[in-house]
Amino acid sequence: IRRIAISTGGGDAPGLNAVIHAVVKAAHQRRWECFGIREGFNGILRPDRYPQDGIIPLSTQMVEQISHLGGTILGTTNHGNPLHYPTTMPDGSVQECDRTPDIHRALREHQIDALICIGGDGTLTIANALHEQGLRVIGVPKTIDNDLDKTFTTFGFDTAVAFATECVDRLHSTASAHQRIMVVEVMGRYAGWIALHSGLASHAHAILLPEIPYDNTKLSDFLIAREQAGHHYSIVLAAEGATTIQGQREVQQAASAGYVERLGGIGEQLAHKLQASTGKEARAVVLGHLLRGGSPTAFDRVSALRFGAAAVRALEQDMSGVMVALAFPNVNYVPLAEVAGRMKAVPADSDTLQTARDLGICLGD
Ligand code: F6P
């Protein structure tokens, strides 16, 4: 190997820059040159945005002081899947095309021997396709949602949980002062990892997860019972993908009809409902993209550095088509084909879930 490239795709997560730092440093140790593709694969597929070159050399100096920074110095996008890339045809119409041949061509032109793709489910699916087409590719898992299979955790998750916890810690006093119900909505897509972990850490009174459809009446009765027992405020932590049993049916119907719903909005809706059903004042707080920002925690920085270095070691050992994963105490490698398109939900037998039940936290079921 002489030259490798890195690409960061999908929603950003704190720790991306630490992976880039580790890849560039570890490559430098082996006297390999390192390049970065700008904005997912748009650095290749959107020459209009990168007229000079969307594949840029990455020196060790450039990555020296970036590990503690949120975001990604390369930029990212969740609208640039090269397998279904919106492309303007000669007749002016826009069609989704497979643009992976353009990626292979650009990498050949830059004499790049291998690619490290850092991303979530979508990016790792693309990485697997590129590997199957003959490119040497290593995947690095990234998502604040922690919903990627085959890895114990992903960098970004710990930072998101730490920040959500700090926010809820702060909400206790204002909720208590006003004797209100506060509904806090957190990200997580169709998995409840962020809600469960931050809800436990911050002593939320109810935690709603996509994995456990909740019952409005049971939740409301629980909050009324708290009031009657002399607890005059409550915090409900709701994952953005949490639904009622009825809501879950609607989502499934929408999905089977090909309609992909954008998540979010549960906070406001639920606060409104709970105010009516409990007679208590309720407010919603949506933490949203705040969970993706800021500096990665030390745990996430170390995980990201380990992932980056392990990706370089994998290339050195002639691997391709694998994802670096965290399997305590060390990292290991799993085939990308086993990860792509699979979601890791909170399992029903999780002891973390059982801990919430043992502590008397309402899960709405
Ligand atoms: O995958 C991370 C995530 O933060 C999800 O939790 C959330 O639903 C989604 O990204 C939102 O992404 P965006 O607003 O960038 O489309």
Tokens, residue 134: 């003959």
Predicted confidence pLDDT, tens digits, the chain (365 residues): 999 999 999 999 999 999 999 999 999 999 999 999 999 999 999 999 999 999 999 999 999 999 999 999 999 999 889 999 998 899 999 999 999 999 999 999 999 999 999 999 999 999 999 999 999 999 999 999 999 999 999 999 999 999 999 999 999 999 999 999 999 999 999 999 999 999 999 999 999 999 999 999 999 999 999 999 999 999 999 999 999 987 877 766 766 666 555 577 899 999 999 999 999 999 999 999 999 999 999 999 999 999 999 999 999 999 999 999 999 899 999 999 999 888 999 999 999 999 999 999 999 99
CA distances from 148 to 125, 191, 334 (A): 12, 10, 12
User: Six-digit token pair at 221?
Assistant: 């009765």
Tell me what pLDDT residue 54 has.
97
Cβ within 8 Å of residue 310, ≥6 positions away: 324, 331, 333
Query: Active-site residue among 12, 53, 98, 145?
Result: 145
Sheet harboring 136-141: ordered strands across? 55-57, 33-37, 3-8, 114-119, 136-141, 322-327, 330-335
Task: Establish whether 145 is a catalytic residue.
Answer: yes
Q: Which two three-digit tokens encode residue 202? A: 């911050």
Q: Are strands 330-335 and 114-119 parallel, antiparallel or unpaired?
A: unpaired
**How crowded is residue 102: how many other Cβ atoms within 10 Å of its Cβ?**
17
Whether 199 contacts 238, CB under 8 Å: no
Triad 241, 243, 247: Cα angle to 5°: 125
Which segments within 306-354 are labelled E, that is strand? 322-327, 330-335
Contact 282, 271 (CB under 8 A): yes
Helix (H) or strand (E) holding 336, with range, is: none
Among 270, 203, 194, 213, which Cα is nearest to 233's? 203
Nearest to 11 by CA among 73, 78, 67: 78
Q: Is the CB of 160 inside a 6 Å radius of any atom of ligand 1? A: no
Sorted by sequence, the CB contacts under 8 Å of residue 53 that are 6+ apart come out as 43
Please give the model's pTM, rounded to 2 decimal places: 0.95
172 burial (CB, 10 Å; 0-12 / 13-18 / 19+) is: middle
> 187 C-alpha to center of ligand 1: Å?
7
**Whether the CB of 78 sits within 6 Å of ligand 1:** yes
143 close to ligand 1 (CB < 6 Angstrom): yes
CB 158 within 8 A of CB 291: no
Which element (helix H / strand E) includes 94? strand 94-97
pLDDT at 247: 81
Apex CA 275: angle with CA 274 and CA 276, to 5°? 90
| pLDDT on residue 79 | 87
User: Quick one: which atom of ligand 1 is closest to the CA of 289?
Assistant: 4
DSSP code, position 9:
-
Q: Is the Cβ atom of 189 under 6 angstroms away from ligand 1?
A: yes
Count how many Cα atoms sit within 13 Å of the Cα of residue 112 in the half-sphere of its side chain: 25
Ligand 1 pocket mutation pick from 144, 186, 187 by most atoms within 8 angstroms of CB: 187
pLDDT value of residue 80: 81
- Residue 219 confidence (pLDDT): 97
Angstrom distance (rounded) from CA 341 to CA 47: 29
Euclidean distance between CA atoms 187 and 287, whole angstroms: 8
Residue 255: its pLDDT value, please? 65
For residue 261, the model assigns a pLDDT of 54
